[in-house]
């Protein structure tokens, strides 16, 4: 399966991806982990990303996209993957869609993890990661035994728990603001594609895992009625305005013709008073006193009446 986990920082994307990875046997691709590793290794990407990460801002789309493109090119991805923390902007989502279409590997599901903001702050402040294997724990929610006595699969020693430098109060506020501004719009993007599932990600971790599994097996949230792209809507509105003003111009011309057909000081009654040629003829004949009626009757007849 090819899955995207969407959700604000602290919603449990990392924890749930790790569990899904073990259950489905597909890799977890966390853009945050990849960037942190680039920073730790001191690569050019890490050097360019560090400032934004420390400030709780997003790393430039072009850098993240290049990194994800390379990662999706690795041999463990054709059987499926879980994207955690990517995409985070509409530009990233559109680029991912193009990339996966080119690879012939479209997404199967996008799951949005919903958690209220007070709970997010509490979770983030309690979050600790093992410096060696990257496993995520939470001082408030993980079982005490797991935090204290579990051994790190990399070192065989107890986990070395560290707090992420961007999990501090000021940076967290900025990360939540950035999420609302840049990432929340992806919910509608994926709903419109019929890929979105939304789960309540509060409460017990096992319970959230169950909801996630259920959501992945369930049909997606109904698509919102599809709106035409903005450019098409603008063109259609322009066309509507143009044809409305053409109607106004036409009716103005008709009104002018009717007025032009009226000899001054006289009232014209007739079914075809708007026909300019016939009206002009009438005017000239009436003006020269030759007739009080048009020469021909029938449809073109216009009766003159002195007031
Ligand atoms: P995370 O571990 O997912 O919370 O990501 C940590 C930080 O890495 C974020 O606050 C961003 O600065 C950066 N980051 C991770 N993923 C992305 C992404 N898809 N686009 C831009 N920046 C990202």
What pLDDT is recorded for position 253?
Answer: 63
52 Cβ closer than 6 Å to some ligand 1 atom: yes
- Answer yes or no: are the C-beta atoms of 16 and 81 closer than 8 Å: no
Q: What is the pLDDT of residues 28-63, one digit of tens each?
A: 999 999 999 999 999 999 999 999 999 999 999 999
pLDDT given for residue 134 in this prediction = 83
Does ligand 1 lie within 6 Å of residue 175's CB atom? yes
- The pLDDT of 243-255, averaged and rounded, is 65
Q: Of these residues, 122, 154, 164, 262, which one is catalytic? A: 164
Q: What is the pTM of this model?
A: 0.70
Radius of gyration, alpha carbons of the chain: 35
pLDDT for the residue numbered 170:
83
Q: pLDDT-based confidence at 281, cuts 50/70/90? A: low
Contact of 178 with 58, CB cutoff 8 Å: yes
Residue 271 banded pLDDT, cuts 50, 70, 90: very low
Instruction: Please give the distance, rounded to the nearest whole angstrom, from the Cα atom of residue 101 to the centre of ligand 1.
Output: 24
Checking if the pLDDT of 135 tops 90, the result is no
pLDDT tens digits, residue range 91-129?
Answer: 999 999 999 999 999 999 999 999 998 899 989 989 898
What pLDDT is stored for residue 73 in this prediction? 94
Q: Does residue 200 surpass a pLDDT of 70?
A: yes
Q: Is 59 in the pocket of ligand 1 (CB under 6 A)?
A: yes
Q: Is there a contact between 138 and 126 (Cβ–Cβ < 8 Å)?
A: yes
What percent of the chain is predicted at pLDDT more than 70?
A: 75
Tell me the HSE value of 207 on the side-chain side, using a 13 A CA sphere. 6
Provide the percentage of residues in the chain whose pLDDT is more than 90: 56
Mean pLDDT (the chain, rounded): 83
Confidence of residue 274 (pLDDT cuts 50, 70, 90): very low
Query: By the 8 A CB rule, do 228 and 196 touch?
Result: no
Backbone φ, ψ for residue 184 (5° rounding):
-55, -35
Cβ pair 52, 58 in contact under 8 A:
yes
Inform me whether the pLDDT recorded for 206 exceeds 80.
yes
Does 4 contact ligand 1 (Cβ within 6 A)?
no
262 part of the active site:
no
pLDDT at 160: 92
């Amino acid at each position: 399966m090819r899955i995207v986990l969407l959700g604000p920082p602290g919603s449990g994307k990392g924890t749930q991806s790790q569990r899904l990875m073990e259950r489905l046997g597909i890799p977890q691709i966390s853009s945050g982990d990849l960037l942190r590793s680039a920073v730790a290794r001191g690569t050019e990407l890490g050097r360019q990303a560090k400032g934004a990460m420390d400030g709780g801002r997003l790393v430039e789309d072009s850098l993240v996209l290049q990194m994800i493109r390379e990662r999706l090119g690795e041999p463990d991805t054709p059987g499926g993957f879980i994207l955690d923390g990517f995409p985070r902007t509409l530009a990233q989502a559109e680029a991912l869609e193009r990339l996966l279409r080119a690879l012939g590997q479209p997404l199967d599901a996008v799951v949005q993890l919903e958690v209220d903001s007070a709970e997010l702050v509490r979770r983030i402040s309690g979050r600790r990661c093992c410096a060696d294997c990257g496993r995520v724990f939470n001082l408030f929610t993980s079982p005490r035994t797991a935090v204290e006595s579990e051994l790190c699969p990399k070192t065989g020693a107890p986990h070395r728990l560290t707090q992420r430098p961007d999990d501090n109060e000021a940076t967290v506020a900025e990360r939540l603001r950035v999420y609302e501004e840049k990432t929340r719009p992806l919910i509608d993007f994926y709903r419109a594609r019929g890929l979105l599932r939304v789960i309540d990600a509060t409460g017990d971790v096992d319970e959230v895992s169950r909801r996630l599994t259920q959501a992945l097996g369930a049909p997606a949230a109904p698509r919102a009625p599809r709106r035409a792209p903005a450019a098409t809507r603008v063109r259609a509105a322009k066309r509507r305005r143009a044809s409305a003003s053409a109607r106004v111009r036409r009716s103005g011309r008709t009104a002018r013709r009717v007025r032009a057909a009226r000899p001054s000081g006289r009232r014209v009654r007739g079914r075809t008073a708007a026909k300019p040629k016939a009206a002009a003829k009438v005017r000239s004949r009436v003006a020269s006193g030759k007739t009080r009626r048009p020469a021909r009757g029938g449809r073109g007849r216009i009766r003159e009446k002195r007031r």
